[in-house]
Amino acid sequence: MILRLAFGSLMARALTVGMTILAIALSVALFLGVEKVRTGAKASFADTISGTDLIVGARSGSVQLLLYSVFRIGNATNNLTWESYQDIAERPQVDWIVPISLGDSHRQFRVMGTTAEFFDRYKYRSGQSLELSDGAIMSDLFDTVIGADVAATLGYEINDPIVVAHGLASFTEHEDQPFRVSGILEKTGTPVDRTVIVSLKAIEAIHVDWKSGAKTSGMSTAADVIREMELQPQAVTAALVGVKGRLQVFGLQRSINEYKQEPLLAVLPGVALQELWQIVGIAETALIAVSGMVVITALIGMMATIFSSLNERRREMAIFRAMGARPRVILGLLVLEASLMAAIGAILGLMFLYIGLIIAQPLVDSAFGLWLPIDPPTLREVWVLLSVIAASAIVSLVPALRAYRLSLADGMMVKI
């Protein structure tokens, strides 16, 4: 009986109730959407590199090593000498090792020197491998494979020339040794998309005529002559390492961190990623707080709507009382109305969320590399919905208590 009365009362005020439900639905969709983006961003962040057991570089901080070697942010304080790199590669625990050489750029995109093994060993998003959308991996000394963002931003196609600049913000270019685009990678949503990849020997080749960071005046070695050179690197920026057994990771890490020939640092990518996520956790908390305040604002708006309707409904309440309705029926009616509005709003908000995810998932993945999973509601999300409904019942108690205290005589005296 009371449920039918509540539905009838809500239908009688369809416009006002509809706007209140819409406000709750949008606030719930925003709150759950922020949660989906937060967890999606965290998962995408963690999946930037997978399958790599250790990252090795010059001794600095674990987050700094992760930033410049994986995310191409910042610079190394020092390099890893080639002798040390070879010594680590020969360790019995090491299954594979891939060198990384950074320092040059191309129109604000980082240039990375490595070996062909990088394309086999680098994994992202829980084990996905790099795939070419066009072309092939470098076969010539002056070939390059570029990321999807590099190709899209600069409009490059296969066989287009690329001239690498010396350093990150330098106007000096290696004009004598231009590269040729041999391959373009598929979009990955990782820093690889914004990277120009060349061979490790190519990094040495473009610096043949350079000494102490500057080009030697009057020197210009022909490309054919450079191809005949040994081009042995003296140092690399960092190295990605895979071990033969998981139990050997910590022993190898400790031995590298205690390396006597030079100060080195070996970090576990997952641990370093967690440290990095803790640093940006303040922004995560702020997003949750803002979306939570939006939900609270919608609930307060619902309470204000109920309050504003009390004057118009005083005669209705008085008639209920005159017909024998007890005060708790009036209170229950208003609380039930608020709970129904919140429940409908919460369900609509969940529907808005999934519609938005279906539309936004491919767009966000393509533009920002964030994978927003479309999974059934988690237990946490169910608790959020139930909390919204419970909170609406609580805030509706304030106007409900005022309504049932209105006297019968006061209600009957209201003019129509």
How far apart are the C-alpha atoms of 69 and 63, rounded to whole Å? 10
- Compute the average pLDDT of residues 295-307: 81
Q: Across the chain, what does the average pLDDT equal?
A: 84
pLDDT at 314: 63
What is the mean pLDDT of the segment spanning 98-105?
93
| pLDDT value at 325 more than 90 | no
Spatial neighbors of 169 by CB under 8 A, at least 6 apart, are 105
Look at residue 308 and tell me whether its pLDDT is greater than 80: no
Kindly report the length of the chain: 416
DSSP strand E in 87-178: where?
Answer: 94-106, 109-114, 123-124, 128-129, 132-135, 143-146, 161-162
Look at the pTM and tell me if it is higher than 0.85: no
Q: Is the pLDDT of residue 408 over 50?
A: no
The greatest distance separating any two alpha carbons of the chain, rounded to the nearest whole angstrom, comes to 107
142-189, pLDDT tens digit by residue?
999 999 999 999 999 999 999 998 877 666 788 888 999 999 999 888
Q: Between the CA atoms of 192, 77, 115 and 256, what dihedral angle is there, to the nearest 10 degrees?
A: -110
Q: Where are the domains of the chain?
A: 2-45+281-412, 54-267
For 233-266, the pLDDT digits (tens) are 999 999 999 999 888 999 999 999 999 999 999 9
- What would the pLDDT profile of 204-244 be if each residue is shown by its tens digit? 988 887 776 667 766 777 778 888 888 889 999 999 999 99
Cβ–Cβ < 8 Å for 239, 65? no
pLDDT for 203 beyond 80: yes
Closest CA to 255 of 383, 94, 407, 103: 94
The answer on pLDDT for 353 being more than 80 is: yes
Q: How many CA atoms lie within 13 A of 403 on its CB side?
A: 33
Asked if residue 59 has pLDDT above 60, the reply is yes
Q: Please report which confidence band the pLDDT of residue 98 belongs to, taking 50, 70 and 90 as the band edges.
A: very high
Pick from 65-74, 233-242, 330-339 the range whose average pLDDT is largest. 233-242
- Residue with the bigger pLDDT between 366 and 55: it is 55
State how far the alpha carbon of 19 is from the alpha carbons of 39, 341, 408, in Å. Answer: 30, 10, 31
3-state SS, residue 282 = helix
- Rounded Cα distance between 137 and 16, Å, is 63
The Cα 88–Cα 65 span in angstroms is 17
Please name the helix (run of DSSP H) or strand (run of DSSP E) that holds residue 195, with its range, or none.
strand 195-199
Rounded CA separation 13/142 (Å): 73
pLDDT of residue 401: 73
| Nearest 10 degrees: Cα torsion 344, 349, 350, 351 | 90
Could you tell me the pLDDT band of residue 112, with boundaries at 50, 70 and 90? very high
